[in-house]
């Protein structure tokens, strides 16, 4: 039975799966694998047998557990990445390309340099690639990324005062909708529900399912309910407290727990 290893090439990066065969590996071990970019050094993030993983397609093999020489070589190339990024920015300025270089990374043997950049529009970077390849004497690949990927690469501090989720632990972006903000009764002010990337906050999705489930247990706004203080009308709710805000026939508005109200529940649709 083969052993499946989930490998990350960057912190909070996407998991890529490889077949470790009979190579003895554990989580956090560095490994050398071959990808579309050539040989790369990655870190084992998860490990399981092929049956437990549920992965059925053919996987590329892990070439070897990284040796100190591999790690040293990767560090030497990483030391040149900042200069490559500066060179890219200089040439982009010379060519009047409205783009922002974000990240440069060499593969393990330095035979390929991958550059990620952001731009408002599509960029014709063919001449830039030619000049960079001649200057850096390696194959160069450029890829344009969106606002969320830019925030993940550059990093920063979120509205909560902590480092961005996308750069610390979110390996993949999931869809976030304005419906999630509405369901949580948040102010629909773009400045308050958007991250530094200009898109809706990823954290809107963290409690979305919980809010949806809990709101299903509460009476709807506008529904008539019975309370210890008489009949009332629901004017709001607090799913996290399992409470509803009701307006009594006297005109007073009070907050009551779910245990204090009864109502006629509508039958679920089949």
In the 3-class helix/strand/coil scheme, how is 132-162 assigned residue by residue? HHHHHCCEEEEEECCHHHHHHHHCCECCCCC
| Number of DSSP helices (H) and strands (E) in the chain, helices first | 9, 12
Residue 264, burial from CB neighbour count under 10 angstroms (0-12, 13-18, 19+): exposed
Question: Residue 170, exposed/middle/buried by CB under 10 A (0-12, 13-18, 19+)?
Answer: middle
What is the phi-psi region of residue 72: left when phi exceeds 0, alpha when psi lies from -120 to 50, beta otherwise? alpha
Q: How far apart are CA 44 and CA 53, in angstroms?
A: 15
91 SS3 class: helix
Band (270; pLDDT cuts 50, 70, 90): very low
C-alpha–C-alpha distance, residues 223 and 234, integer Å = 5
Q: What is the distance between the alpha carbons of residues 15 and 169, in angstroms, rounded to a whole number?
A: 12
Residue 51 pLDDT > 80, yes or no? no
Section 66-86 average pLDDT: 95
Q: Is the pLDDT of residue 216 over 90?
A: no
pLDDT in tens, 93-117: 999 999 999 999 999 999 999 999 9
Give residue-wise pLDDT tens across range 193-213: 999 999 999 999 998 988 888
Per-residue pLDDT tens over the stretch 144-195: 999 999 999 999 999 999 999 999 999 989 999 999 998 888 889 999 999 9
Question: Which segment of 69-78, 92-101, 241-250 scores lowest on mean pLDDT?
Answer: 241-250
User: Looking at the domain covering 218-270, what would its CATH class be?
Assistant: mainly beta
What DSSP state is assigned to residue 58?
A: -
- Among 117, 115, 116, smallest CA distance to 132 is for 115
Residue 49 — very low, low, confident or very high, per pLDDT cuts 50/70/90? low
Domain ranges in the chain are 3-66, 78-145, 161-210, 218-270
- Residue 269 pLDDT: 54
Question: Are 140 and 96 in contact, with CB atoms under 8 Å apart?
Answer: no
Return d(Cα 36, Cα 125) in angstroms, integer: 21
Give the alpha-carbon dihedral of 214, 215, 216, 221, to 10 degrees. Answer: 160
- What is the 8-class DSSP label of residue 13? P
The pLDDT, as a whole number, for residue 238 is 87
- Is 114 strand, coil or helix? strand
49, 1 Cβ separation under 8 angstroms: yes
Q: In sequence order, what DSSP letters do the residues of 173-199 get, joined into one string? A: -----HHHHHHTT----HHHHB-TTSS
CA distance 223 to 75: 64
CATH 3.40.640.10 given to domain 78-145: no
pTM for the model stands at 0.77
The model's confidence at residue 3, banded by pLDDT at 50, 70 and 90, is confident
Can you tell me the mean pLDDT for 64-68?
95
Question: In angstroms, what is the C-alpha Rg of the chain?
Answer: 27
**Mean pLDDT, residues 228-241 taken together:** 89
Is pLDDT of 261 > 60? yes
> Per-residue confidence at 267, pLDDT binned at 50, 70, 90?
low
Average pLDDT, the chain: 90
Contact 194, 159 (CB under 8 A): no
For position 215, what pLDDT does the model report? 83
What pLDDT, in 10s, does the model give residues 115-151? Answer: 999 999 998 999 999 999 999 999 999 999 999 999 9
DSSP state of 214: H
């Amino acid at each position: 039975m083969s052993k499946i290893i989930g490998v990350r090439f960057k912190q909070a990066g996407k998991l890529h799966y490889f077949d470790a065969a009979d190579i003895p590996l554990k989580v956090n071990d560095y490994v050398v694998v071959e990808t579309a970019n050539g040989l790369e050094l990655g870190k084992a993030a998860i490990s399981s047998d092929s049956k437990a993983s549920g992965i059925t397609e053919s996987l590329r093999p892990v070439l070897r557990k990284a040796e100190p020489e591999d790690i040293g070589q990767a560090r030497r190339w990483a030391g040149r990445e900042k200069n490559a990024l500066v060179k890219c920015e200089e040439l982009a300025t010379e060519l009047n390309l409205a783009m922002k270089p974000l990240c440069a990374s060499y593969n393990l043997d330095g035979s390929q340099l991958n550059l990620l950049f952001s731009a408002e529009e599509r960029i014709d970077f063919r001449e830039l690639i030619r000049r960079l390849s001649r200057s850096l004497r390696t194959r160069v690949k450029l890829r344009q990324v969106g606002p969320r990927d830019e925030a993940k690469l550059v990093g920063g501090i979120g509205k909560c005062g902590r480092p961005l989720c996308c750069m610390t632990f979110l390996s993949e972006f999931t869809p976030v909708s304005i419906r999630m903000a509405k369901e949580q009764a948040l102010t629909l002010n773009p400045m308050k529900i958007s991250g530094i990337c200009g898109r809706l906050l990823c954290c809107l999705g963290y409690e979305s399912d919980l809010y949806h489930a809990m709101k299903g247990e509460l009476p709807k706004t506008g529904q008539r309910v019975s309370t210890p203080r008489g009949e009332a009308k629901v004017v709001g709710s607090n799913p996290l407290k399992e409470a509803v805000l009701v307006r009594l026939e006297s005109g007073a508005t009070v907050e009551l727990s779910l245990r204090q109200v009864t109502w006629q529940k509508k039958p679920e649709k089949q």
